[in-house]
Chain A
Amino acid sequence: MARSGTLAGPRRRGGMGLARREAMMGLLLVSPWLLGFLIFTLGPMVASLWFSFCEYKVIQPPRWIGLGNYQRMFADELFYKSLSVTTRYTVVSVPLGIVAALAVAVLLNQNVPGARVIRTIFYLPSVVSGVAVALVFSWIFNYRFGILNYVIGLFGIRGPDWLGRPQWALWAFILMSLWGIGGNMIILLAALQGVPVSLHEAAEIDGANSFVRFWTITMPMISPALLLVTIMSIIGSWQVFTSAYIMTAGGPAYATLFYLLYLYRNAFNWFEMGYASAMAWVLFVIIFVCTLLTLRGSQNLVHYEGA
């Protein structure tokens, strides 16, 4: 006590000064992020909200038109098309992708020799995303000479003209998204590895078979990871751009006019900055609502340890 008293003495004198100095230093060191947030996130978001109420074609200054852009959106068939394309893509590719990622993660969690190598292979597509993948897949999906239809043909089925037919083009993109499940798979695998073995052993002694154990122990334990993966996948699916830009340019007959592709064209091909800003805000609201709904809907399903 006496020792700590003597130590506290000189400290107390400078106490206020030290805390203030730390606060100053803290704010100073955090300022790069704070500035970046204001300049590159908050500022642009506020600006784009304002632009969304303006006609703004870059060469002239923005002109206030109230809800004009939003009204136009309601009448814009291509806007609806892009909305429907992206929604359908999300509704199919996200659940399929998560189920596939979970299935692979469960298989890899079985401690078979070589699991590490297979895990690496599954993650590899996430590293080479973008242009290279789009180039490779445009050849793979080729109607007559593509390897995919060749493989399908081996089973006696005639493969469709993947990228040339409106009813098939989106399926090509969904198939491609399944190729990239590795990122989600690794998150789920890590969650699976975090499930305590003791829980499974206890349930096994109580006579629960592996199916029951999966639903009553594994699923609740990995539910936070599943939720995270779901939200990230939904956000990602609304941002498909490069593959659509390179492989189909939105075609055929706008069948792959993804939301971001249409937004890009409005902004950077037609310089409709006001309209594009309105679209960006609608996108923001969509993603926000999707995230909120996922969180709400999963409230009773997600189990948090110790909560």
Chain B
Amino acid sequence: MTTVASVRRGRSRRRLVREVARKLLVYLLLLPLTCFIIMPFAWMVGSSFKPIGSGIKFPPQFIPNPVVFTNYPLVFKTIPFLMYTRNSLIVTLTVIVGEVLSASVVGYSFARLRFPGRDLMFIVLLATMMIPYPVTMVPTFIVFKILHWVDTYLPLTIPAFFAPPFAVFLLRQFFMTVNRELDDAAKVDGCNELRILFQILMPLSKPALTTVAIFSFTANWNDFLGPLIYLSSARMYTLALGINYLRSFRGGGDLAPQMAAAVMFSLPCILLFFLGQKYFVQGIVTTGLKG
């Protein structure tokens, strides 16, 4: 009896030691990798508080000394940062509204209604998610040029009102999980499809709608190629174009103001990510698509 107990105790102690060793090993491997990921962020934030000229100083320092706050106002003085921010917000918010509305309607149709060609259309929709943007970039540009939409926000925003496949897919998958009895009951009460969608399904689908909105925000806030193609006059620039523009200005070519601009540019996305982290993870996992 005692021998069995002591053997068992010995085994459990060995187990514990192994368990602790395993966890230590995991940390040991993860630590350098995590540092590798954090380093650029730390460098960006740290450098935004360095004095002008520290970009060409050796050795480079992580923690600024002295700490200087003038780079942030300098960005505002060098480029019309607020105007670019406003432009980016106009584009991004319009796209979000368009995407959420149109994708909800289409996603509802795919999830709930029976109509001829539905399954084929859904397969086509999935296939279009694989088509890279560059393939359609040239002719789409020509169409917008003919319409005289170049150098307006229309080429960047109008397509969002035509139900982008990623958002449709995500919402359709979510609507499929919502109990059908609810909309059947509403139908018996005489609700039409749009009322069912807007008053029953959409309020129940806040997580999915938030996911779509967050993904749409980061994708469009960071979009560089689209604005680069379509926006030619500087007053129309979005922030993504604008902060790249900073480099060509006197005083903007230095490390510190560039990093200050980069911090301010990425802050909304980072904040949004921390606020809506679980939606992000949900979104990536259900669709396998990256933002």
Contacts and interface: CB of A to CB of B under 8 A. Distances in A.
Interface in B213-239: 218, 222-225, 228-229
Interface in B152-171: 159, 161-165, 168
Of listed B164, B247, B274, B285, residue having the most chain A CB within 10 A: B285
Contact of A29 (B59, B109, B140, B272): B109
B211 to A, nearest CB: 13
Interface string A128-171: 11111101110110101111001000000000000000000000
Interface in B237-289: 240-241, 243-244, 247, 255, 258-259, 261-263, 265-266, 269-270, 272-274, 277, 280-281, 284-285, 288-289
A16 interface: no
Contacts of A53: none
Contacts of B26: 107, 110, 112
A41 B26 CA distance: 46
Contacts of B285: 186-187, 190
B291 interface: yes
Interface string B3-45: 0000000000000000000110011011001101111110110
A125 B135 contact: no
Given A232-B288, A268-B229, A124 B134 contact: no
A131 B22 contact: no
B288 A228 contact: yes
A256 interface: no
Contacts of A112: 23, 26-27, 30
A33 B281 contact: no
Given A118-B30, A130-B222, A51 B139 contact: yes
Interface string A266-297: 01100001001100110110010001000000
Contact of A47 (B30, B134, B142, B218): B142
Interface string A2-44: 0000000000000000010011111101101111110111011
B136 A40 contact: yes
A25 B193 contact: yes
Given A41-B136, A104-B33, A107-B29, 5 more contacts: A26-B118, A29-B108, A36-B161, A125-B37, A236-B290
Interface of A: 19, 22-27, 29-30, 32-37, 39-41, 43-45, 47-48, 51, 58, 103-104, 107-108, 110, 112, 118, 120-133, 135-137, 139-140, 142, 144-147, 150, 179, 182-184, 186-187, 190, 225, 228-229, 231-232, 235-236, 238-239, 241-242, 245-246, 260, 263-264, 267-268, 273, 276-277, 280-281, 283-284, 287, 291
25 contacts: A25-B193, A26-B109, A30-B115, A33-B163, A37-B125, A37-B162, A44-B143, A47-B142, A51-B138, A112-B23, A112-B26, A126-B291, A127-B266, A129-B291, A132-B266, A145-B56, A147-B43, A150-B60, A187-B285, A187-B288, A190-B281, A231-B130, A242-B224, A245-B228, A273-B142
